[in-house]
A and B are shown apart, each in its own frame.
Chain A
């Protein structure tokens, strides 16, 4: 077990190393002069040289990369070109909003998606299946931004015109200050995220469950005299958890790296919004920081999923 974990952690470190090298190289070959970005259009050539020397941009790429790596290992990701703030703390400030969106969203989409999938699979071909399938089709067909705009229009704009505020248009309020205000601000982002993602989980649950319900051990469970409810929830659903966990790991990791569209639509000051801003400003240290953070979440999620497999499937122990 320890060997397995050590191996996976070593591999994760290798992945992050390769990712950082790739991103670094990408910016080296990309056009644009960071010194000009920092100094502005009116800067003289002498000022630019001074800035390059300050930022270390005049050194060879390998030296730059080595010094980046040695600092990154201590948690120092450098400073933003734009406002000279440390990248690490800029990103850390954005994490609460993203985590709030993703954790709340995950719980909600599981709570909605899985039961819809179960309902659909248990009444396959019937009316309830068709309702479930319609939900899946609608959820999968809507692009996130369309759904986001629509709910803004319906739940913020129209009530405002009628003279009252149903939900705020966005923004993030800290959880610890006032949980109610926090949740109230997140209702619309959650709804949008959940509608889109729950459909994926409903479809996955339905498909997996249909397969499992045809298994011999489900017949055995029925032959024991278990009620259909117990057969489905204790025996069938248990066997569909492995693919669900796989999907969940990937989804959570991706979103934690920045739920770009939703954060943009609702003005949530999350990691995704930071990334968009940094790309617009060509703020390389921030972009590299955000990419590495996304990579970190993905390798962690993969290790977590592998460990969960062992917990879920006794045959792997």
Chain B
């Protein structure tokens, strides 16, 4: 039974520069009780689409039709739409930290949903909220009813959000990246909770995510959006077995999990188009490896295949089968450690902060509890762990940015705590850090040339034309156009900004580069480009990497050895393949079990084209 049906949905968002064509003629339907996945990279319009159809985007121009329970949502009066939101359509948002009101208790926030839609007394509402909290796995719900959001962990807050969305038992729940802000082990719990709720109550779930691995596990049908267009919609099984659209295929290919460790990943070249000008041809053609002349000339037709897949593409038999995973032959040569002294060594490193609280009470908060670690020249050591495990703090300690409160760090035979000021300057040249957020870590008011040239200026190494030449060389090396020397960071995309950060880090030819979640803020297709770049730079310049990440697939792909951190300790440290094949620690096993990669598409084509239409249909 169809619960929600969107036909030819168009969403335009007026902005200062013109009109963003966020969604262009998207049609789909959601059946009662199914999990309908919507996937796409950032800016593909997946959040805008779902929020527009519930009227949550102010100022958006929405056309087309959205039928829900026999009514067109786009024609409803604001009052009637309010009546549906919360009671018939529940919504769960990405960031449970910012999506709950910080000044209201969670019980009150959930009870509010009941009070808006039903005439219920306070005690009855409370009873129902407590029962719901209990159901989503909040321990001691009656006591926690009066707690504020900041008193819960991220995963618990997401459970509160789920309780809020489900408390009135709506037939449809829209979950917008419900697990993206959470740690992998928590992600798995939240997803299985959602799945349980669906089975128990027959709730249909629209699951928006960029994580194809997640969708491959629980979605019944999947829609892939690119630049505001529905490039493919198919039953989950056929989509992951043999993607019909080249974009879907490329997305699956660019996942590091599909490549043998150390090999080149197949990235999607280029970047998504601007949405200010609607495309007159195929939106994906400029990045498509299978593009034909007609692709850039005319809008693609809709192809329907016998396995139920529909793709907006000129190819008559779907995308080329992705290259099978390169056979795991001889592993890439591992840097030898025989006899050589490690470049960096940490012995019993401890770090604790005094915790002076407003209302009295003093203690020390231990962030690092005795870390032993050694890094050999030319290797990549992965550091994985969940948020709060102390990964980033350890990185700062190793880079000498934060002094230890116990133990010591040795870099190239010299102890960091015994360095004089000249030794510090030398250390700063040898150890560089690339930070996670390419948007927040570049000064927006300085030109890119100046940012990359900073290390030369600070260390007084090259001046004037010489510095400029160096910077241009670096830009070339990381794949930036040296002509963009005078641009500002805001004129670059996320991936390009991360290249700027890498160029700056490499300026002084360091021997050790600490990469703190270097690709976490990037989309998969861009992520693959950066990972390949890091790999080739390491090969060419003989760099040593400390690679911090929460993404096990990425870490497995780039690292020689992996250290698993938990609560300020390294619980396991071993060669990458050993850890994956024989995880020793229980926690490592938990992390591995919780991460998942989309299945590798089959190499053989079995599908047949059934129909080609030019009109947009469901």
Contact = CB atoms under 8 A, between A and B. Distances in A.
Given A314-B150, A315-B148, A224 B98 contact: no
Given A222-B56, A223-B54, A226-B116, A216 B359 contact: no
Given A217-B99, A217-B101, A316 B112 contact: no
A52 interface: no
A221 B100 CA distance: 9
Contacts of A4: 358-359
Contacts of B104: 235, 238
Given A3-B360, A316-B358, A220 B99 contact: yes
B100 to A, nearest CB: 6
B83 interface: yes
A238 B103 contact: yes
B319 to A, nearest CB: 36
**Best-surrounded residue of B84, B102, B360 (most CB of chain A within 10 A):** B102
A230 B51 CA distance: 20
A169 B56 CA distance: 53
B113 interface: yes
A216 B95 contact: yes
**Best-surrounded residue of A223, A227, A239 (most CB of chain B within 10 A):** A223
Contacts, number: 79
B102 A315 contact: yes
B86 interface: yes
Interface residues of A, number: 25
Interface in B552-593: none
A220 B93 contact: yes
A227 B86 CA distance: 12
Contacts of A216: 93, 95, 98-99
Interface in A213-257: 215-217, 219-228, 230, 235, 238-239
Contact of B113 (A215, A225, A314, A316): A225
A211 to B, nearest CB: 13
Interface in B100-129: 100-105, 112-113, 116-117
Contacts of A227: 79, 82
A224 B105 CA distance: 16
A225 B102 contact: no
B148 A223 contact: no
B85 A222 contact: yes
A312 interface: yes
Contacts of A312: 103
Contact of B103 (A1, A219, A224, A314): A314
A225 B84 contact: yes
Contacts of B93: 216, 219-220, 223
**Best-surrounded residue of A220, A225, A312 (most CB of chain B within 10 A):** A225
Contact of A219 (B56, B83, B102, B105): B56
B85 A225 contact: yes
Contact of A226 (B82, B84, B100, B103): B82
Contacts of B78: 228
A208 B359 CA distance: 29
B101 A235 contact: yes
Interface string B312-354: 0000000000000000000000000000000000000000000
A234 B102 CA distance: 13
Contacts of A228: 78
15 contacts: A3-B359, A3-B360, A4-B359, A217-B99, A217-B102, A219-B51, A219-B56, A220-B99, A222-B85, A224-B116, A225-B85, A225-B117, A238-B101, A239-B102, A314-B102
